[in-house]
Amino acid sequence: MALLDVQNIEKSFGSTKVLQDISFSLEQGKTLSIIGSSGSGKTTLLRCLNFLERPDAGVISVNGEILFDAHDTSTHSDKEIRKRRLHFGMVFQSFNLFPQYTALQNVTLARELKNKEKKTETQEEITAAGKALLKQMGLADRADHYPHQLSGGQQQRVAIARALALQPDILCFDEPTSALDPELTGEVLKVIRQLADDHMTMVIVTHEMAFARDVADQVIFMDGGFIIEQGDPQDVINNPQEERTKQFLSRYNG
């Protein structure tokens, strides 16, 4: 059974249809890359998965549990959505770190807030877990640095550690390297590649075609709010079947 199952998701903003009949599934421990031009609906799809946007139609399930059903209003309450959002970690292209907090504080904050409700951990345990995540990101010596003291690549790695802190089932990335220069891009992609090797379930919106081909287990190409083509990365990227996919990839493979 798939860990993530998305069925017939649709989303409009006013009269503009941004997502149309989006369906796919993802097995546990696998990586899905979503590619496509700007405006194709990639980011909106991620935001629907993470419940930052509410789909107009469709069903989202994780591990067999329906998290959202457009036809079932009991899944629409803010309380339910906040709880179900914990299944997903989100890494944004612009880092979105809190500038007034150190790297370690950025990583531990959400876990501290969650712990206030349930009191399942000590502060020492939360701090130790945060330090372990920063070490995993190669940032053990940057725990007490503030975002302005970190490079873009370091900030993005802190953001990844923060997303992992709540131990989500699925980690989502929205073009995680688009704000970085090529050298720093390599730092971040190396971390994501290691997460893939460790079988973290991930959904990655990316414009790095070689990375999508080499790291993902599955690729979706979106255009105009539709999934145009999906399948094995080697097939979709090296040997696309749809004309629109060929046109898009010709800019990268030409």
Q: What are the pLDDT digits (tens) for 125-149?
A: 999 999 999 999 999 999 999 999 9
Return the pLDDT at 182.
Answer: 86
Token pair in block for residue 177: 């390297």
pTM of the predicted protein model: 0.93
**Cα–Cα distance, 107 to 27 (Å, whole number):** 27
Q: What are the pLDDT digits (tens) for 89-129?
A: 999 988 899 999 999 999 999 999 888 877 889 999 999 99
Flag residues of the chain having pLDDT under 50: 254
DSSP line for the chain: --SEEEEEEEEEETTEEEEEEEEEEE-TT-EEEEE--TTSSHHHHHHHHTTSS--SEEEEEETTEEEEETT-GGG-SHHHHHHHHTTEEEE-TT----TTS-HHHHHHHHHHHHHHHH--S-HHHHHHHHHHHHHHTT-GGGTT--GGGS-HHHHHHHHHHHHHTT--SEEEEESTTTTS-HHHHHHHHHHHHHHHHTT--EEEE-S-HHHHHHH-SEEEEEETTEEEEEE-HHHHHHS--SHHHHHHHHHHH-
What are the residue boundaries of the structural domains of the chain, listed by start? 1-87+170-254, 97-167
Return the pLDDT at 253.
Answer: 60
Fold of the 1-87+170-254 domain: Rossmann fold (3.40.50)
